[in-house]
Amino acid sequence: MNRLVRMAVLAAAVPLAACQYSQDRLASTPPPPTRAKNVILFVGDGMGVSTVTAARIYEGQKRGQTGEENLLSFETLPQTALVKTYNTDSQVPDSAGTATAMNAGVKTRIGYIGVSEAAERGDCASAKANPLPLAAEAAKRAGLQVGIVTTTRITHATPAAVFGHSVDRDWESDSDIPAAERPEGCTDLAAQLVAFPFDVALGGGRGKFFGSAGGGDRLDPAANLAARWARRTGGSYVETAAALAAAPRGKPVLGLFAPSHLSYMIDRQPDTTQPTLSAMTADALARFAADGRGYYLMVEGGRIDHGHHAGQAGYALEEAVEFARAVRHAIDNTDPRETLILVTADHSHVFTIAGYPRRGNPILGLVTGGGEGAGSPDRPAIASDGQTYTTLGYANGPGAVKGARGAPDTSLKARQQSLVPLPSETHGGEDVPLYASGPGSQEVHGVLEQSRVGQIVKRALGLD
């Protein structure tokens, strides 16, 4: 078969039905203006290029495809770029400094939220002296709606960067602030959230808003920031998916659906009361649409990152598929002429796709078949130590093998083998992808500093 015929056969074999609606919809619209009515920033925490590739294959294989030909929802967006993620003091970043770059349009140090690199680490007074201007703060001054949706604690680094200012990302509750710094008057991130005039805030982290009487860790045993917020704003505080659905429109809503992070998708039980990321995204967009004003919404698939830190690729990929489902809902339920959608990651992970597995090989499975003389089409490849090995692995983390390496586990909840033994797998320092559509998306091309993402958000909403 000659090359042109072979290419035609492969092209005809690629199933496009899953993404065709969004592609046609975007292709049929005229070039967008530079000013947006709405901006949605989707952050797949830890979703580097290798995670996107593996999740693309995993999602396709869940639908019965070979997987490689699949496209995740956000991969249909017309504009793409690569984003440099380093913090001002670190080659490999954390989520606080990176999320600050995307919300303030300025890079800062590792571990800092909404404060500049001029602040002294752990010093409350210098934090108050060096705040950075956040997109959400400017959006509220301009009369826009602001929303935060996450599967982590809502005071965790990425969601906190939407509304918060802190020289330590771990100051989520007042009990987390060192005793020596408390007299300086720094406010913890939970208290900062309830003081911020948000319209929608949905996620986990209930324990940071309550004292011990409510199952939390605040210094005052009777503390109940959620109730205080509801009384002050007239908003609805909810703890279940059913209560969220019943909460009246036209008033703010605070949803805290777990004491800490929401459950992994893999671990969700049939009787769970927690909403999914896609359900929370849908609820937020429905509320914003009913109001009619423009909005800035940040949506984080936060537990992609946690699955990787645990060295469990199956957890990370299932979270990435749910993240793509949330993006799909936004693409299909917003007007591309007035809504800028940005999809990116805060950083990558030391996550690899390796060996020479045959086309369609189970992405969580053993390397089977392949080229370079690495096995037969129907038998797993064997490494130099006489053992099989998986396609997915990590450069470091809790899956490191001590002594002779045994056969790897390939179950959905397996911990993949890694090289360097560490209690938690680390972030990676390579660039991450950025996908975009809508007004202002023309700026998304080439290789960008991560702070440009925040600048694009502000310019699109006319906040710069």
Question: Is there a catalytic annotation at residue 95?
Answer: yes
Phi, psi at 377, each rounded to 5°: -60, -25
Q: Judge contact between 102 and 41, C-beta under 8 A.
A: yes
Choosing from 95, 116, 175, 418, the catalytic residue is 95
Q: Judge contact between 136 and 104, C-beta under 8 A.
A: no
Angstrom distance (rounded) from CA 33 to CA 364:
42
Q: Judge contact between 354 and 393, C-beta under 8 A.
A: yes
Catalytic residues: 95
